[in-house]
Amino acid sequence: MGNAKDDKPGKMLTSMREAGSAIVVTGAGGGIGSGLVRRLIGDGWRVLAVDLNRDGLAKLQSERSVGARLDVFTLDVSRPGDVERTARQIDDQGIAVAGLVNAAGILQDVVPFMSLDIERQRQIWDVNYFGAFYCTKWFGNLMIKNGGGSIVNITSINELRVLPLHAYGPTKVAMGSLTTLTAGEFGAKSVRVNSVAPGFTLTPAMQEKIDSGKRDVSALKRATAMRRLVEIDEVASVVSFLMSDESSAVTGVSIPVDAGWLTTSHWMNFGDLLATGSEEKPGS
């Protein structure tokens, strides 16, 4: 694991990466998760990719660019015993864990409150919140043991603004609380914890919602400062920053990556200010 314990607190990721330590990415078979895996491997990290979706993991494994630095684990993050077993297995293999990205999640359709299916609500909580909680407990424990690390919770603009996604939204608010609580507790152990809060991001899962009319892409663009959706690699580059010593004093914060949706989405109440330039793509 190298000389991580000798490094300045919070500034050990470069030496851990060079010593072959790994980052665990959950939801790695999905749109954002796969993009994160590609980016972190490109940064020189070994990546342990976790997902329930075997096809998504197999697709990643088939990519030449990920090479030998990828290991995959088919794991249901909502099952605490399985998460604990996988963490022990990784530790027993002598792999030092330096980072965790909690990206596994279930997106939600808009349903009136009175029509919500209780089992579906529980399932969303089990994966989005408790999955992140269990992974933080077991993989965070390995980071503390290894001398430090970085945890990134992929939340959403739902962490920062109430939207009509009755289960999904509160799970993301709770993940934000998990971020600040664990950042406060783990800081003395050189483990930093932050949230990345993506706006509407062009993943296959989001594209499916757009194609089926569940999200109005023209309205989303009109409501966004930069008049466009977010690309997966724009989320990945912020995670890459948080998984580096460039962010060595950044902990306990939530960073929106939303092309300015939080800034301007409520401006619609003030007439035509946002009407111009909605088809252009400034800033790219």
- Which sequence positions are flagged as catalytic? 168
CB of 210 to ligand NAP, least distance (A): 10
Q: Does 206 bind ligand NAP (CB under 6 A)?
A: yes
With CB under 6 A as the contact rule, the residue among 4, 72, 135, 154 that binds ligand NAP is 154
Q: Does 52 bind ligand NAP (CB under 6 A)?
A: yes
Angle between helices 131-146 and 80-92 (to 10 degrees): 20
Of 126, 123, 151, 125, which is closest to residue 137 (Cα–Cα)? 151
Residues forming a β-bridge with 149: 191
The interface with ligand NAP within residues 99-138 (CB under 6 A) comprises 103-107, 127, 131
Which amino acid makes up residue 278? Answer: S
* Choices 13-21, 58-66, 70-78, 110-118 (CB under 6 A): range interacting with ligand NAP: 70-78
The C-alpha angle 21, 52, 145, rounded to 5 degrees, equals 30
284: CB partners within 8 A, 6+ apart: 228
With CB under 6 A as the contact rule, the residue among 169, 170, 198, 256 that binds ligand NAP is 198
Q: Does 160 bind ligand NAP (CB under 6 A)?
A: no
With CB under 6 A as the contact rule, the residue among 15, 23, 24, 78 that binds ligand NAP is 78
d(CA 24, CA 74): 12
Cβ proximity of 229 and 261 under 8 Å: no
* Choices 23-31, 187-195, 244-252, 274-282 (CB under 6 A): range interacting with ligand NAP: 23-31
* Choices 21-29, 37-45, 110-118, 261-269 (CB under 6 A): range interacting with ligand NAP: 21-29
Q: Per residue in 33-71, is it b (16+ CB within 10 Å) or e — as a string?
A: bbbbbbbbbebebbbbbbbbbeebbeebeeeeebeebbb
**Binding region for ligand NAP (CB under 6 A):** 26-27, 29-33, 51-53, 56, 76-78, 103-107, 127, 131, 154, 156, 198, 200-201, 203-206
